[in-house]
Amino acid sequence: MIASTTDYFKLHFIIFLWGFTAILGLLISIPAVEMVLYRTLLAAIGLGVLIYFSRVPFKFSPGDLLKIVGTGFIVGIHWIAFFASAKVSNASVSLVGFATGSLWTAFLQPLLSRKKIKGFEVILGLVVVLGLYIIFSFDFRYPMGLALGVMSGFTIALFSILNARFVKKNHPYIITLFEMTGAFLCTALFLPIYKNTWAFNGELQLIPSAMDWFYLAILSLVCTVYAYSASIELLKRLPVFFVQLSMNLEPLYGVIMAVLIFGASEKMQSSFYIGTAIILCAVLFYPLLQKKLPGYSSPDQ
């Protein structure tokens, strides 16, 4: 299937919604891990209701069921690693680690598909890492934060590649339902470790306020149920590497929204605009490769 212009706009709208999760994270008072627990639980419930009322056939490839739930564990590890990276270092380190997702995709997808690694994808992945390095003035004082950030980049690349395979035989809603269930179980199993390590005063904060529930609903239903399942559906037509490459715009969209919402306190330095231009060039350059170079036109390349 060939991607349309609408697909590209839809992808960036989804990335815009994911960028908004950073704003919601600031508005929700409970800590990040507890937030992920509720996010995945509410998303799984929301998917169940959506599947029921939209009358999507509740069928799936039996052979894929455990694989999809297992992929949900990878999603949970991704979110935990990303937030833990920021916790033990800072947001800049976690975002640079996150940016390695496109680079990991350039290596993992050919290896899993037993195909040749494409040099241009590796180069574009490195360009994106450079762009975020410039934006966030990354420094090397946080090796553990970097390791966790790279883990978040590795896991997002891995579950995106797997989802591109699952969506060939399963409905995106079914995939998202089972993956959010797996991510919830992963986060729930992680809670005892979290409680004894990073939790504030060694206690879990599992009672959201009324406003927290409101923001969690938006985070779960809009930024997860809709955005996550829609992104899986797009993998039918868009190459996994291009989706990963474009997702590096998520923190940039988040920063722009923070400026609009929180005002001058979020004003960026010139390095932000230089790094943004580099990342945009990488994202815009990739579709040109699809047209100019052989073998770059298939979503499952």
Using one digit for the tens of pLDDT, what is the confidence trace for 36-67? 999 999 999 999 999 999 999 888 877 889 99
Taking each helix axis from N to C end, the angle separating 62-88 and 143-166, rounded to the nearest 10 degrees, works out to: 160
Q: Which residue has the higher pLDDT, 285 or 81?
A: 81
Q: pLDDT confidence of 21, banded at 50, 70, 90?
A: confident
- 260 vs 220: which has the higher pLDDT: 220
Q: Indicate the pTM of the whole model.
A: 0.84
* Mean pLDDT for all residues in the chain: 85
- Placement of tokens 């553990």 in the chain: 144
Please write the tens of the pLDDT for every residue from 103-159: 888 889 888 888 888 888 888 888 888 887 787 665 567 788 878 888 998 999 999
Residue 160 in tokens? 């995106």
Is it the case that residue 266 has pLDDT exceeding 70? no
- pLDDT of 293 > 80? The answer is no
Three-state DSSP string of 129-147: HHHHHHHHCCCCCCHHHHH
**pLDDT range class, residue 179, cuts 50, 70, 90:** very high
Distance, in Å, from the CA atom of 272 to the CA atom of 243, rounded to the nearest integer, reads: 22
Higher pLDDT residue, 225 or 84? Answer: 225
